[in-house]
Structure 1
Amino acid sequence: MSYKYLLGRLGHPLSASFSSNFKRPFTTMIKERVCLIGSGNWGSAVGKIVGQNVLKYPAIFESEVRQWVFEENYKGEKLTDVINREHENPKYLPGIKFPSNVRAVPDLIEACEGASVLVFVLPHQFVRGVCDKLQGRIAPTAKAISLIKGLEIKPDGVTLFSEEISRLLGINVAALSGANIANEVAMERFCETTIGCRSDADGQLFFKLFNTPYFRVNVIRDYVGVELCGALKNVVAVGAGLSDGLGYGSNTKAAIIRLGLMEMRKFGQTFFGGVEDTTFFESCGVADLITTCSGGRNRKVAEAFAQTGKPIDELERELLNGQKLQGTLTAEEVHSFLAARNMTSEFPLFETVYRIIYEGAPIESIVRDI
């Protein structure tokens, strides 16, 4: 079986049995019950949108939205208690009020009990652990959407998190990605986003769940392209940050963005046969790429790397409170994947970012070698 086939698959069988732990039998289900899995900066911004939108469609959705919150201490109190009392997440999204129908729940199983719509919006490293706990507790008739920007790329293949969630839970999973900086979304500054969904019915449901006058949703079928763009644009943003750190200016950064978009497209169409050209012109594609190369943590840390020469892990501690960059990790994974196929020379920007960060190549290589 070829790796192109493995990577290019666009579907898979659903193999899950109806769990006795699912307390609301499908035959009596009238309204959708929504659960948000994750409550960081982006998860909190999304919680505000979802909480407002379920109230707009009372014939479709139950009014209460449960949100699984990893329990933490906040100024001597449980974070969930603070969220439920103040209708705000002061640790990750201070100053933004949620609708009162969003309820923080510290227990994952309780939060997801009876849910027919799952919104995954948590760091990718926790996906498998969460899904392992949920196995056998989610009805096969449920549906989910992944807001996780990232891929798991290994020399032997690429894993989309929507497909991993689908495999582990036996349900259909869509994907959402776009030029969506969480704080700006929370402040209701206009932006667009893209939902990739194979099911027309699920796509219409997710449109109602997320679309607002300030958060404009476009639904397409190419969920693979949506997820690829969300991950690969971070590598390009590292390149843009290196250019900024060298003081090369707007013309150079525009060239890096253009070349990066071309390599994103080439990667998608080489290893995932069903990725559509038009996806790269959606919000998840060129718009998210522009936003990430203009701001964001990958550009910021790469700029500091070029200016100071400090190691990436030291800059992560200084600038990100120890959080890890997606762009540098993805660059390393992409390199290993391409090297296993003797194809690194076909993606010069991706490879140059890798060599600068991990092999000590001159930072000037970001323009010399692409």
Structure 2
Amino acid sequence: MALATIPYAASPLLTPHCRRKVHSVISCQIDIVKAKQAPESTPSPAKLRIKIAGAWDALMRWSQRKSSYVSTSRRSSEAWAGVRKVVVFGGGSFGTAMGSILALQKSELEVVLLLRDEQLSSDINVKHMNSKYLQGCSLPHNVRATTNVAEAISGAQYAVHAVPVQSSRAFLHGIKDVLPPTTPLLCVSKGLEVTTGSMMSELIPSALGRCQPVVFLSGPSFAKEVLEKQPTGLVAASTDLQLANTVQALLSSPAMRVNTTSDVVGIETCGALKNVLAIGAGIIQGLGLGQNALAAFIVQGCSEIRYLVEAQGGKASTINGLGGIGDICLTCYGSLSRNRSVGVRLGQGEQLQDILASSSQVAEGVATAAVVVLLARRFRVSLPVLTGIAQILEGNISCEEAVNEIMGLPQIQGEA
């Protein structure tokens, strides 16, 4: 602003006296601008320690003020009031882990795992351990298993849905007459149905033939670490924020933080597509292409997921949170990731059918990849990385060919 007034100071229409005044004002303004732009001097190490401690103390005071409105323990007690039983649909690793976490929240709570496998059900009840999916991890005393649908659901105040996506429609259709329409579902299944392209938020009401209260849980969470009570952060997404807040209170503990959001589309899209991205991350690691390539690949994948989230009406900011980058990083880098493991073996030259045949657990990204291409066409979004992974899984191109094709795409200008 000061520099813009300089030409007026030199105007021949101004008297010498006026010019001196204008120059004086300009000098003051320039000094002010310089003062504002002058960087702060770096404090000494001792003063820096004091500043850091002060900032931390301020944060802790803010936390105490926020917590004082309604304490976490009080909210948890209110949420658990009247809850006597929870049923978990599915006895895989994550369903078992979630059932165990809920059981630990309230010792008198009855948690029932509904399974198809009679042998596994008996094994869990005798050994208090899911030897098939979580070997070596003991289950709480108040967790049991059954294959009887009516017995499992009867009297349950909440149901955790942990059935793989591709089996969910048939399962839910089969229990719709037994499951009360008011029983809230806590859905932890992530993926897209191959036959319809539906997300779980679309599949559930379609299979049940009605609207059901539902919260979608997502975030970076390996089942084994959840069961071991390692610090974990989740996000509960629902169009019913009051229900999401209740689920937050049910699950929150010293080892688990739960955020809430109404962006179901964003959370579900991130949760489904991160499995596909993780297969690609594994392929890069299996090919031995290095950390540079892996980082660039994940960044491009995150951008593509964000494009699809926005195209479907979700929030772009969702990918920045636990259900987005949090879950993506864990699944792409974590050694316990099933989808990443599939990719690593593909990159090392194994055939997909052999990989799937040798695994007892479902890698949802394999089925989801083909559907992603259909979504890209429907919403007119370009997804080169995710489409390349689908091409590999379909056997249309090799891992090496896909990498070369993606590296040969036009380079982006004007964006970081």
Q: TM-score, normalised by structure 1?
A: 0.80
Listed as ranges, the matches of 1:1-370 within 5 Å are: 30-31=82-83, 33-55=85-107, 63-73=109-119, 79-153=120-194, 158-167=197-206, 168=208, 169-270=210-311, 272-273=312-313, 275-295=314-334, 296-308=337-349, 310-318=350-358, 320-321=359-360, 323-339=361-377, 343=380, 346-358=382-394, 359-361=396-398, 363-366=400-403, 367-369=406-408
Contact map agreement 2:282 2:344 (CA 8 A) in 1:
yes
Deviation digits for residues 79-116 of structure 1 (CA, Å, limit 9, x no counterpart)? 33332233222222222222222222221121001323
Change (3 A) 1:301 1:80: closer
Higher strand share: 1
Deviation digits for residues 151-198 of structure 1 (CA, Å, limit 9, x no counterpart)? 1255xx631213322341531111011111111221222221111022
Shift of 1:351: 1.6
SS in 2 for 1:218: strand
Instruction: Look up the equivalent residue of 1:365 and give its one-letter code.
Output: A
SS in 2 for 1:352: helix
CA distance in 2, matches of 1:253, 1:336: 25
Q: Which has the larger radius of gyration?
A: 2
Change (3 A) 1:31 1:42: closer
Shift of 1:120: 0.3
Shift of 1:148: 0.1
The gaps in structure 1 that reach 5 residues or longer are 1-28, 56-61, 74-78
Contact map agreement 2:220 2:323 (CA 8 A) in 1:
yes
Shift of 1:324: 4.9
Change (3 A) 1:164 1:267: same
Change (3 A) 1:265 1:32: farther
CA distance in 2, matches of 1:98, 1:362: 41
State the superposition RMSD in angstroms. 2.3
Contact map agreement 1:195 1:217 (CA 8 A) in 2:
yes
SS in 2 for 1:92: coil
Shift of 1:254: 0.7
Instruction: Look up the equivalent residue of 1:64 and give its one-letter code.
Output: E
Instruction: Look up the equivalent residue of 2:110 and give its one-letter code.
Output: E
Deviation digits for residues 234-286 of structure 1 (CA, Å, limit 9, x no counterpart)? 1211221221122221111111111101100101111x21x112211221110
Contact map agreement 2:252 2:258 (CA 8 A) in 1:
yes
SS in 1 for 2:239: coil
SS in 2 for 1:299: helix
Deviates more, 1:171-180 or 1:234-243: 234-243
Instruction: Look up the equivalent residue of 1:266 and give its one-letter code.
Output: Y
Shift of 1:362: 5.4
Shift of 1:339: 4.4
CA distance in 1, matches of 2:151, 2:169: 18
Change (3 A) 1:316 1:130: closer
Q: Any runs of at least 4 consecutive aligned residues in structure 1 with deviations exceeding 3 A, and if so which?
A: 29-33, 336-341
CA distance in 1, matches of 2:253, 2:305: 29
Contact map agreement 1:64 1:101 (CA 8 A) in 2:
yes
Deviates more, 1:93-102 or 1:220-229: 93-102
Instruction: Look up the equivalent residue of 1:265 and give its one-letter code.
Output: R
Contact map agreement 2:197 2:371 (CA 8 A) in 1:
no
Contact map agreement 1:145 1:173 (CA 8 A) in 2:
yes
CA distance in 1, matches of 2:159, 2:97: 16
Change (3 A) 1:39 1:135: same
Shift of 1:369: 4.4
Contact map agreement 2:347 2:399 (CA 8 A) in 1:
no
Change (3 A) 1:31 1:294: closer
CA distance in 2, matches of 1:291, 1:83: 28
The gaps in structure 2 that reach 5 residues or longer are 1-80, 410-416
Change (3 A) 1:64 1:336: same
Contact map agreement 2:194 2:370 (CA 8 A) in 1:
no
Equivalent pairs counted in the alignment come to 322
Change (3 A) 1:54 1:151: farther
Change (3 A) 1:134 1:284: same
The percent identity for this pair of structures is 31
Instruction: Look up the equivalent residue of 2:392 and give its one-letter code.
Output: I
Q: TM-score, normalised by structure 2?
A: 0.72
CA distance in 2, matches of 1:284, 1:244: 23
CA distance in 2, matches of 1:260, 1:297: 18
